[in-house]
Amino acid sequence: MINVAVLGYGVVGSGVVEIIKKNCESISQKAGQEIRVKKILDIRDFDDTCPDKALITKNPEEIFGDDSINIVVETIGGAKIAYEYTKRALECGKHVVTSNKELIATYGPELLKIAKNNNINYLFEASVGGGIPIIRPLNRCLAANEIYSIVGILNGTTNYILTQMKKDGKDFDVALKEAQKNGYAEANPTADIEGHDSCRKIAILSSIAYNEFVDYKNIYTEGISKITLTDIKYAESLNASIKLVAMSEKVGDKIVARVSPAIVDKDNPLYNVEDVFNAIVVKGDAIGEAMFYGRGAGKLPTASAVVADIIEIVKHWGSCGGYDWNVAEGSNVIDIMETKAKYLVRIKTDNESEAKELVNSLYGNVEWLKPLKVQQKDELAFVTENILEKEHKEKFEVISNSEAVRELVNTIRIL
């Protein structure tokens, strides 16, 4: 019998308890031992309608001091008390399973080291892609590959908003409110819409794929709050969609990584990923291209990934399948200014010929887009060549300050 304690009876934590109870028989069969939840830590008060009230305690000592508890599930979130409890559990020799991407992205190397030194596991399949199996496939199933790149839609909230804008012609603010109403976005949506959530996730995936810690703080991150319906129409005119894309790529012994809105062509498998779905495309030297797709969030999908990690630990009891995250000296992520990109650029001008002349003189060669039906008369749009970000930045600055151009409306990367 394996005893599990769940720290934090929120959405994911209560889902973990629910799944272990519901699929108890098949889970125990697959794990080779019976698994049960012995204690739940939560400081809130629960009334009698809570089905797990009898297991809930406010006292962490009932968990850390109980040697019969072998596995701790951390679903508190954040990187403060969750950090403290995770460290303590690992130091007590308890395996820890989590869905907490912030904690892994911030303290991953330290916590994984403690786990390794204690010959126990610290697993986090649920931290990226909700229920989509991605961490273990990357680490195990694709282990024979040198991974070249990871490109994904890692945040369901922003993908839902962008899908609503495209399908129903809703403005960003309206689509965001609807996402909040439907429970797909939080009251404070910053972490999602500004790309911070995707940034932590691509940092975790990259750390696994390239076998060294990639610090999320070094990853350039741009959200979707500046994307308008007109931008989406331009993307459509290019047979493409706008998605919040998180990517990383191995270049020599460094990594190129970024999170930003990107224009995704119809032929790209990410083009068809809509609503709250996530998808991750992995390229490796042997496998070529593989994609993993599914619901990237939600109570039961995420909880099912947590429970899968528990089963894995129990099945291979005594064998530690931990990760080594070497921490590079200095940043292993190439400065975004030294990476290349191709842009859609929208400008407003009162003097079309002068503006075009300026742009052509700056870029040498751009593709001018046909005017859209929705477009205002004073607007022009073009697609640049693939050049260094720092060169784009200089050119955007010249465009912004030129008298021929009244406004640099928006610039969006092309994937």
- Which residues in this chain contact a copy of itself in the complex, by CB under 8 A? 15, 19-20, 22-23, 26-27, 29-31, 125, 131-133, 136-137, 139-146, 211, 269, 272, 284-295, 298, 300-301, 303-308, 310-312, 315-319, 321, 324
C-beta of 223 vs 298, nearer to a copy of itself: 298
8 is in an annotated binding site: yes
- Is 252 within any annotated ligand binding site? no
59 vs 272, beta carbon nearer a copy of itself: 272
12 is in an annotated binding site: yes
* 271 annotated to a ligand binding site: no
Q: How far is CA 189 from CA 10, 177, 185, 195, in A?
A: 18, 10, 6, 10
- Of the pair 142, 162, the CB lying nearest a copy of itself is at 142
Pick the closer one to a copy of itself by CB: 145 or 230.
Answer: 145
On whether 93 is known to bind a ligand per the annotation, the reply is no
Angle at which helices 11-22 and 299-315 cross, to 10° = 60
Asked if residue 65 belongs to a known ligand binding site, the reply is no
Nearer to a copy of itself, 136 or 342 (CB): 136
Cα–Cα distance measured from residue 408 to residue 347, given in angstroms and rounded to the nearest whole number = 5
Which tokens is 109 given? 């190397």
- Nearest approach in angstroms of CB 31 to a copy of itself is 8
CB-CB contact of 189 with 216 (8 Å): no
Shortest distance in whole angstroms from residue 294 CB to a copy of itself: 4
Is residue 206 annotated as involved in ligand binding? Answer: no
- Tokens matching residue 149: 């790149």
Cα 317 to Cα 319: distance, rounded to the nearest angstrom: 5
Active-site pick, 38, 94, 166, 201: 201
CB-CB neighbours of 343 under 10 Å: 23
* Exposed e or buried b per residue across 365-387, where buried means at least 16 C-beta atoms within 10 angstroms of its C-beta: ebeebeeeeebeeebbbbbbeee
Verify whether residue 201 is a known catalytic residue: yes
At 207, phi and psi to the nearest 5? -60, -40
CB of 115 to a copy of itself, least distance (A): 15
Give the bridge partners for 295, in sequence order: 277
For 15, phi and psi rounded to 5 degrees? -65, -40
E strand map for 343-386: 343-348, 367-368, 379-383
CA dist list (Å): 274 to 163, 177, 278: 6, 18, 8
Distance CA(302)–CA(305), nearest Å, equals: 5
CB of 298 to a copy of itself, least distance (A): 7
CB of 301 to a copy of itself, least distance (A): 5
Active-site positions read 201
Please enumerate, by residue number, every residue annotated as part of a binding site for NADPH: 101
Please enumerate, by residue number, every residue annotated as part of a binding site for NADP(+): 7-14
Please enumerate, by residue number, every residue annotated as part of a binding site for L-homoserine: 186
Please enumerate, by residue number, every residue annotated as part of a binding site: 7-14, 101, 186
